[in-house]
């Protein structure tokens, strides 16, 4: 499984878009890119995942670079409820190896 | 759809005591995971079950930790004897099958404090 690198923290104003970056330069061709988030005092929650193409769901969008060495999670309009630690995980199995993630602070 | 259930939510024990955690996964989910999350870190996989068989327990400290998933449904994780460094949140997760295309659903966790 490829190691991922994320900024330790980011801030966003409420109702503005947020772009959370992730580097996974050693990703293999069959590794998926997963994003989970963890709200305070809760277990992690699935956000989105993809392989090669950009993905959209009701929570977020995932933009994957053409060489797959990086990706960006996009929250289109941040709300206070989006304040959480966001984990980017690259894996070819269903084992998730969490790093320390990016702590997102949403400013009212 | 009911989520992953865990109990207890909190547990405080003294070092060298034993403790057990219980997990009930989402109905129909074949794969069950136990994670340990130490304060300030991301969750770390301890053990993965596929039905009632162990798929991966490479990160489980087997001298003191044990886990079982009888009948391929509920699971228990036990620590005996506990050490101070076992203080953490223990998370249970389940997924439909063991595949990177299926998401994992996490329970709320059990916060263990060892004094």
B9-19: pLDDT as tens digits: 999 999 999 99
Residue B97: predicted pLDDT? 84
CB contact under 8 A, A94 and B100: yes
**How does pLDDT run along chain B (115 residues), one tens digit per residue?**
689 999 999 999 999 999 999 999 999 999 999 999 999 999 999 999 999 899 999 999 999 999 999 888 999 999 999 999 999 999 999 999 888 888 999 999 999 999 9
**Residue B9, pLDDT score:** 97
- Judged by a CB distance cut-off of 8 A, whether residue A53 touches chain B is no
The pLDDT assigned to B95 comes to 94
The overall average pLDDT reported for chain A is: 93
Tell me the three-class secondary structure of B58-108, residue by residue: CCCCCCCEEEECHHHCCEEEEECCCCHHHCEEEEEEEECCCCCCCCCEECC
Residues of A in contact with B98 (CB under 8 A): 93-94
| pLDDT surpasses 90 at A103 | yes
Decide if A100 and B102 are in contact by the 8 Å CB cutoff.
Answer: no
Contact status of A92 with chain B (Cβ, < 8 Å): yes
Q: Give start and end residues of each alpha helix (H) in B10-56.
A: none
Tens of pLDDT, residues A10-56: 999 999 999 999 999 888 888 999 999 999 999 999 999 999 999 99
Contact between A34 and B100 using a beta-carbon 8 Å cutoff: yes
Bridge partner residues of A44 (DSSP): none
Which chain B residue shows the shortest CA-CA distance from A39? B108
- The DSSP code for A94 is S
Under an 8 Å CB criterion, which residues of B touch A?
4, 31, 40-45, 48, 56, 91, 93, 95, 97-109
Q: Which residues of A touch B99 (CB under 8 A)?
A: 94
Mean pLDDT of A62-73: 96
In this prediction, residue A1 carries a pLDDT of 59
- Say how far apart CA A86 and CA A48 lie, in whole Å: 11
User: B46-53 long-range CB contacts below 8 Å, 24 or more apart?
Assistant: B46/B77, B47/B77, B48/A94, B48/A95, B48/B98, B49/B75, B50/B98
For residue B43, give the nearest of A34, A44, A94 by CB distance.
A44
Tokens 């963890």 locate to A38
Nearest to A35 by CA among A12, A17, A61, A9: A61
How far lies B80's CA from each of B21, B41, B43, B88, in Å?
12, 23, 21, 15
Chains A & B: contacts with CB separation below 8 Å: 58
């Amino acid at each position: 499984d490829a190691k991922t690198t994320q900024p330790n923290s980011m801030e966003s104003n409420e109702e503005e878009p947020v772009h959370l970056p992730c580097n996974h330069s050693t990703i293999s061709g069959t590794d998926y890119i997963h994003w989970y988030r963890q709200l305070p005092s809760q277990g992690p929650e699935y956000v989105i995942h993809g392989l090669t193409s950009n993905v959209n769901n009701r929570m977020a969008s995932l933009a994957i670079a053409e060489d797959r060495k990086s990706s960006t999670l996009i929250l289109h309009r941040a709300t206070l409820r989006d304040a959480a630690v966001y984990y980017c995980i690259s894996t070819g199995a269903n084992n998730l190896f969490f790093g320390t993630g990016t702590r997102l602070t949403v400013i009212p | 759809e009911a989520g992953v259930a865990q109990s207890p939510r909190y547990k405080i024990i003294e070092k060298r005591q034993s403790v057990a955690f219980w997990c009930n996964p989402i109905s129909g989910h074949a794969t069950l995971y136990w994670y340990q999350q130490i304060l300030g870190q991301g969750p770390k996989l301890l053990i993965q079950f596929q039905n009632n068989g162990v798929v991966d327990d490479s990160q489980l400290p087997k001298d003191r930790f044990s886990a079982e998933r009888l009948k391929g449904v509920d699971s228990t994780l036990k620590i005996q004897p506990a050490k101070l460094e076992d203080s953490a949140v223990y998370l249970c997760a389940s997924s439909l099958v063991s595949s990177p295309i299926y998401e994992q659903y996490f329970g709320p966790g059990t916060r263990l404090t060892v004094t």
